[in-house]
Amino acid sequence: MAANLIEIVKQAGVVGAGGAGFPTHVKLQSQNIEYVIANGVECEPLLNADRLLMTHYAVEIIQGLKAIKDTLGAKEGIIAIKKKNTEAVKALESRLQPGIRLHLLEDIYPMGDEQVLIYEVTGRIVPPAGLPLDVGVVVNNVATIYQVDQAIQGQPFTHRLVTITGYVKTPLTLRLPIGLSIKEAIQMTGGAIIDQYRVLNGGPMMGGLVTNLEEPITKTTSGLVLLPTDHPLIIEQEMDIQQMIKRAKSVCCRCEGCSQVCPRGLLGHGLKPHLIMRAVSYNLADLNLTASYLCSECGLCIYGCDMGLSPRKINQAIKTELRKNGVRNQPDRSRVKPHEMRQYRQIPGKRLEGRFRLQELPHKTSLGERVMIPKMVRIPLQQHLGVPAQPIVKIGDQVNVGQQIGQIPEGQLGATVHASIAGKVVQIDDYVHIQGS
């Protein structure tokens, strides 16, 4: 069964739907796993896709989790979910199977961070720069686990639930075909209700700024959030790194507020954003900048800074430069233990929302069904970690929904790609362009 499921998931193109898109069939080959955690925390404000998925597709998620648990030989499958999502909790509780249980969590940000979640659920700390595998755990987002079940049922990964919210007419969570443009997805909610706005692909805290509304929905798109151009989170995203450094030199007061709330630092990983800010501001070569690799880019350092600085942005820039120069992080793993004040420095979701002007926006969306089949989709050949898929169709081919259009290059890390609508292949570049029938 194990080898069979791995091949089924591989051919279905299942990847991590809640993060960078790591190919799931590779995770299913992990060894010495005790726990499989289904991450249903969805800690980002405003997003609802996972909550609605657990509420309406509890059977599928539990079946998928059991299949993964059995394949890995794990002793337990655990669904991690916030206590406040009572409808989803009730739906899951009524369908639990032996070896599968719920773990209820408080509304803390970023509880859905993989390493924070592992500590909360198992009490184990993933070592700095380590992987969940190092402590006998595999974590998959519930959307990924749902897709595993769909793969077992013969359905490849062609659609996904996406929350479209913020300053739109009717915030909704919709099941969208992969390759649909972000512009068309927003139009399905009635469009923006403000003139000057930006769109974040993902949640308001960790989502990336959309620079082109023609960009497509992908397997890793969990949400689209429209915010005004003067919103603090948009300003942080758009600020030039050199401008941020100049501001840090003039206003950083060394208060350590960013380090006091850093979730990785509080786990004992040795990340202290205030020291990195100091090093960059004053060109202190004796400070170890490789600690930037430990940053999860959750954005809590922005919350902790009263001066409007973004250690996250500095860390992102440092990591980029270190990778270019082939510099790796080799952190000290000998004295890793949680900070004694950790439980008192965690940030409740409502406090985060108040700090970033999110409390007035809709926090729950309904599951909408008003999705028209698009006239055109642009399906990326790379929606995952690894190398792009190789197209196995040519211009002029007629394809059906679910037909494989891209395969994994031989011996490479990657994921297969499938058509999300029926139609004609009209162009192939970094995308397969399909015109609807």
Alpha carbon distance 418, 12 (integer Å):
8
The three-state (H, E, C) secondary structure of 367-431, written as one string: EECCCCCCCEEEEECCCCCCCCCEECCCCCCEECCCCEEEECCCCCCCCCEECCCCEEEEEECCE
What per-residue confidence (pLDDT) applies to 335? 80
Alpha carbon distance 110, 40 (integer Å):
12
pLDDT in tens for each of the 437 residues of the chain? 566 999 999 999 999 998 789 999 999 999 999 999 999 999 999 999 999 999 999 999 999 999 999 999 999 999 999 999 999 999 999 999 999 999 999 999 999 999 999 999 999 999 998 999 999 999 999 999 999 999 999 999 999 999 999 999 999 999 999 999 999 999 999 999 999 999 999 999 999 999 999 999 999 999 999 999 999 999 999 998 888 888 888 888 888 999 999 999 999 998 999 999 888 877 655 567 888 999 999 999 999 998 989 999 999 989 998 999 888 887 878 788 999 999 999 999 999 999 999 998 988 888 876 567 899 999 999 999 999 999 999 999 999 999 999 999 999 999 999 999 999 999 999 999 999 98
Which amino acid, 281? S
Q: Distance of CA 226 to CAs 59, 185, 199, Å?
A: 32, 12, 5
Q: What does the CA dihedral 167, 169, 175, 177 come to, rounded to 10 degrees? A: -80
What per-residue confidence (pLDDT) applies to 287? 62
What per-residue confidence (pLDDT) applies to 286? 53
Residue 161 in contact with residue 183, Cβ under 8 Å?
no
Residue 228 in contact with residue 211, Cβ under 8 Å?
no
Alpha carbon distance 260, 341 (integer Å):
9
What per-residue confidence (pLDDT) applies to 328? 84
Nearest Cα residue to 16 out of 136, 160, 119: 160
Q: Which helix (H) or strand (E) holds 147?
A: helix 142-152
What per-residue confidence (pLDDT) applies to 421? 96
Residue 401 in contact with residue 186, Cβ under 8 Å?
no
What per-residue confidence (pLDDT) applies to 19? 78
Residue 320 in contact with residue 289, Cβ under 8 Å?
no
Domains of the chain: 2-152 (3.40.50.11540), 159-231+357-371 (3.10.20.600), 239-348 (no CATH), 373-437 (2.40.50)
What per-residue confidence (pLDDT) applies to 369? 64
Q: Distance of CA 315 to CAs 64, 71, 255, 268, 298, Å?
A: 36, 37, 18, 18, 11
Answering whether pTM is above 0.75, one says: yes
Residue 61 in contact with residue 80, Cβ under 8 Å?
no
Nearest Cα residue to 38 out of 8, 6, 67: 67
Phi, psi of 159 (to 5 degrees): -135, 160
What per-residue confidence (pLDDT) applies to 371? 66
Q: What does the CA dihedral 319, 321, 324, 330 come to, rounded to 10 degrees? A: -50
> Given the structure tokens 């040795």, which residue do they identify?
270
What per-residue confidence (pLDDT) applies to 437? 83
